[in-house]
Amino acid sequence: MTGGGAGMTKVAGMAEEVDNMSHFKGIIKSVTGQTVVVVITSSTLPQSGEIAHVSKSPEIKLEVLARIDTEVTCLILSESNTLLVRGQKVEGTGKPLSVPVGKQVLGKMLNLFGESSEGEDNFDLLAPIYAPAPSFSLAVNPTEILETGIKVIDFAMPIPRGGKVGVVGGAGMGKTVLLTEIILNIINRQEAYTVFAGIGERIREAQELYQRLKALKVLDKSSLVIGQMHENAANRFRIAQAAATIAEHFRDKGNDVLFFADNMFRFVQAGSEVSQILGEIPSEQFYQASLQNQVAEIEDRLVSTEDAAITSIQTVYVPADDFSDPAVSAIMTFLDTVIILSRGNAQLDLHPPVDLLQSSSSFLKRQILGERHFEVYTRFNGLLSSYVRLSHIAAIVGEEELGAADRLTFKRTRKVINYLTQPFFATESQTGRKGTHVKREDAVTDIEAILAGKLDNVPDEKLKYIGTLKEAKLI
């Protein structure tokens, strides 16, 4: 919950009992940007997070934030404030912002207020978007790998079922493309509901995903919650809470959930804008002082319990390719698997442009990967460090000047790097390459063969953008 500005005190919490027959009333004193100051005229006081309506403009929703004496500050959640003027009457609802939950939202694209893109918004089951995280004692650590069919991910940075994954990179690195590919590859192979949170991104991308899910005949087990980039900061900031509420409901009913968020940086950015609107004193690099808490409030809710698992896969935009940015750092501390996209690899035509050295996963353990996968990965990772050193030398003196052993290491490692590129189903129409889905076991077998020298006579370029070696008729 966003707190008030300096000198403000939070008003009574939602846990207090409310007399449904008597809600607070007030009159608008001032309107500044996206905030409204209301003078309370009733004996009933507003609650923190309570939704209020304006007389003669019921479409405008105000969210109560903080109170000083008899004045309360509200945040405008609706798109426009042009219908608001001083002297208008305001009345509270006694309820927080709520969204529809359960099977009734499947197949729907919703906005923050639970309104469907199809105009069907008569939902009978609602839940408040603000909720505490499950008790630490109820949380369950992931122990199973969720295969994506994407070679570089399944081999070098596996995704934990019930864990948190970040696709991290700068502008134009293909974060949304990779996220879409993961969705397309796993949604048909998992007995789980899908919840997609579009936070401050283009509506075109959400619409394309909606149509793809529909074409795959999996829309009936998916729900999309969208806060578009042109919407005000308050809307974009609360989309994550709204989507998390839907995911939590499915989990608590015993259903596994695939939770996708695009883009978590936009969530932090929207929170920063709201903080500035409220006149709060900024912290490091002009981010809100409550940045870490706001990220934690979302991430701590997206956990697995004994009832079911929430697997969360999030894109994270890196401003100016600065990975030390406080927003990026705050999000990454909660991730089990971090997939870093490299601009250098993209320039070398390596897609997905994953940085194999910077990316990481907490699942790179012998007992989870299995003996064979762990041994092949460990061997490749050792060669990768040498490859980086040798590539600098080769760039200066030429590959042929390397010693025989170093040249062999260099060539085989480069073959594996090329092999880990892959044509995507999500980009078939743009690249002209047919997408492929590769099992983790097949990827391990192929990389083992490359490292053993079975493809030493095959040109490096032949290993780019293929599925398995067998499919490419290289072995």
123, pLDDT greater than 90: no
Q: Decide which of 96, 115, 132 is a domain's last residue.
A: 96
397, pLDDT greater than 70: yes
**Candidate list 95, 202, 433, 454, residue with the active-site label:** 202
457, part of any domain: yes
Active site residue 151: no
Can you state the angle between helices 440-451 and 371-397, rounded to 10 degrees?
Answer: 50
For residue 303, the model assigns a pLDDT of 93
Q: Are residues 91 and 107 in the same domain?
A: no
Q: Are residues 397 and 340 in the same domain?
A: no
For residue 202, the model assigns a pLDDT of 80
Q: Are residues 306 and 339 in the same domain?
A: yes
**Candidate list 63, 147, 181, 201, residue with the active-site label:** 201
Distance CA 226, CA 212 (A): 16
Tell me the pLDDT tens digit for each residue of 299-310.
999 999 988 999
459, pLDDT greater than 50: yes
Domain CATH number, residue 91: 2.40.10.170
Q: Are residues 355 and 413 in the same domain?
A: no
Residue 232: pLDDT band with limits 50, 70, 90:
confident
Please tell me which residue, 141 or 171, carries the higher pLDDT value: 171
Q: Are residues 132 and 66 in the same domain?
A: no
Burial bucket for residue 173 (CB in 10 Å: 0-12, 13-18, 19+):
buried
Count of structural domains, the chain: 3
Distance CA 45, CA 43 (A): 6
Instruction: Identify the weakest region by mean pLDDT among 136-140, 157-161, 230-234, 367-371.
Output: 136-140
For residue 291, the model assigns a pLDDT of 92
Mean pLDDT of 400-411: 89
For residue 80, the model assigns a pLDDT of 67
Amino acid identity for residue 36 in this structure: V
Tokens of 457: 């006579």
Please, are residues 162 and 302 in contact by the beta-carbon 8 Å criterion? no
For residue 376, the model assigns a pLDDT of 97
Q: Decide which of 332, 348, 363 is a domain's last residue.
A: 363
2, pLDDT greater than 70: no
Mean pLDDT over all residues of the chain?
Answer: 89
Tokens of 470: 């067998």
**Candidate list 108, 161, 164, 175, residue with the active-site label:** 175
Instruction: Identify the weakest region by mean pLDDT among 132-141, 233-242, 405-414.
Output: 132-141
Please tell me which residue, 14 or 94, carries the higher pLDDT value: 94
For residue 163, the model assigns a pLDDT of 93
Distance CA 415, CA 445 (A): 14
- Three-state SS for 339-394 is EEECHHHHHCCCCCCECCCCCEECCCCHHHHCHHHHHHHHHHHHHHHHHHHHHHHH
For residue 117, the model assigns a pLDDT of 72
Q: Are residues 213 and 256 in the same domain?
A: yes
Report the percent of the chain where pLDDT is more than 90: 65
5, part of any domain: no
In 3D space, the residue among 320, 319, 323 whose CA is nearest the CA of residue 339 turns out to be 323
For residue 52, the model assigns a pLDDT of 94
Report the percent of the chain where pLDDT is more than 70: 95
Distance CA 112, CA 94 (A): 19
Which range marks the domain in which residue 82 is found?
25-96
Domain CATH number, residue 353: 3.40.50.300
Q: Decide which of 47, 69, 96 is a domain's last residue.
A: 96
Active site residue 301: no
Measured between alpha carbons, how far is residue 122 from residues 134, 238, 245, 308, 339 in Å? Answer: 29, 21, 18, 28, 40
Mean pLDDT of 355-372: 94
Instruction: Identify the weakest region by mean pLDDT among 92-106, 147-161, 283-297.
Output: 283-297
175, part of any domain: yes
Q: Are residues 426 and 357 in the same domain?
A: no
Alpha-carbon torsion, ordered 31, 32, 33, 34, to 10 deg: -60
Q: Angle 220-221-223 (CA atoms, 0-180°, nearest 5)?
A: 95
For residue 5, the model assigns a pLDDT of 40
443, pLDDT greater than 50: yes
Active site residue 201: yes
Mean pLDDT of 69-89: 85
405, pLDDT greater than 70: yes
Distance CA 254, CA 441 (A): 30
Residue with tokens 């697997």: 311
For residue 120, the model assigns a pLDDT of 63
Instruction: Identify the weakest region by mean pLDDT among 63-77, 321-335, 453-467.
Output: 63-77
19, part of any domain: no
Distance CA 77, CA 239 (A): 11
For residue 39, the model assigns a pLDDT of 95
Whole-structure pTM value: 0.89
255, pLDDT greater than 90: yes
For residue 460, the model assigns a pLDDT of 92
Mean pLDDT of 224-236: 89
Runs of H (alpha helix) within 96-202: 151-156, 175-186
Give Cβ neighbours of residue 342 (< 8 Å, ≥ 6 apart): 169, 173, 353, 354, 355, 358
Tell me the pLDDT tens digit for each residue of 190-218.
889 999 999 987 878 888 888 888 888 88
Amino acid identity for residue 201 in this structure: E
